[in-house]
């Protein structure tokens, strides 16, 4: 099996500890890659703290107003100088988050290039556990040319995460697509 043919089970094995247990994040946020932070709604709704951290961009992977979403938007950050982008993703196995991979990767890339490479992006969902890390993993695959296993391991090394199986399957699909494009 090539590195591009990683299974959902192999990714789940990477996410769990030696006993097969998934851990919840130990902090509200973590820097998972240079100037890319993944976290929960607690920090996302604290503009003063975001500014102290130097966050220039927010990618809300749970935009909406239901219990499972975070009802912030560009207006919420108005006057702060923080640039906002929202993705209305649901954290369910059957939700197609892959339709947002390219737009999220573009936003993260723009954030990192901001002010001659001084931008910092906070990618969040409700818990910073499934939706937001999925979008960051897709970014690492699309823009940093990592394979799915390496991208997931990079984020998991810095933060406890647990994308649902549907999201993991979609990341495996992205991996297959990128491998096919590379081999053309």
β pairing state of 121-124 and 36-39: parallel
Instruction: Give the residue-averaged pLDDT of 59-81.
Output: 92
pTM: 0.94
Catalytic hit among 47, 121, 125, 135: 125
* Higher pLDDT among residues 113 and 16, named by residue: 113
CA 41 to chain centre: 13
For the chain, the residue count is 184
**Counted domains in the chain:** 1
CATH of the domain at 130: 3.90.190.10
Task: Report, as an integer, the average pLDDT of 64-82.
Answer: 91
Domain span holding position 169: 3-182
User: 38 pLDDT exceeds 70?
Assistant: yes
Distinct helix (H) and strand (E) counts, the chain: 7, 5
Position 5 scores a pLDDT of 63
- 125 catalytic, yes or no? yes
**Mean pLDDT of all residues belonging to the chain:** 93
CA-based R_g, the chain, Å: 16
Cβ–Cβ contacts within 10 Å for residue 55, how many?
A: 25
Q: What is the structure's pLDDT at 184? A: 75
- pLDDT tens, residue by residue, 144-177: 999 999 999 999 999 999 999 999 999 999 999 9
């Amino acid at each position: 099996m090539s590195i591009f043919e990683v299974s959902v089970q192999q990714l789940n094995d990477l996410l769990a500890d030696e006993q097969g247990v998934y851990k919840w994040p130990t902090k509200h946020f973590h820097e998972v890659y240079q100037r890319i932070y993944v976290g929960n709604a607690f920090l996302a709704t604290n503009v003063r703290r975001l500014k102290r951290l130097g966050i220039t961009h927010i990618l809300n992977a749970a935009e909406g107003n239901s219990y499972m979403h975070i009802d912030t938007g560009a207006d919420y950050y108005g006057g702060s100088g923080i640039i906002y982008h929202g993705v209305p993703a649901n954290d369910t196995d059957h939700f197609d988050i892959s339709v947002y991979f390219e737009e999220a990767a573009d936003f993260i890339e723009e954030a990192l290039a901001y002010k001659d490479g001084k931008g910092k992006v906070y990618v969040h969902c409700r818990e910073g556990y499934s939706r937001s890390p999925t979008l960051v993993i897709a970014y690492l695959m699309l823009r940093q040319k990592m394979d799915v296993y390496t991208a997931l391991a990079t984020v998991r090394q810095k933060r406890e995460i647990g994308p649902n199986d549907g999201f993991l399957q979609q990341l495996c699909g992205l991996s297959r697509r990128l491998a096919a494009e590379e081999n053309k």
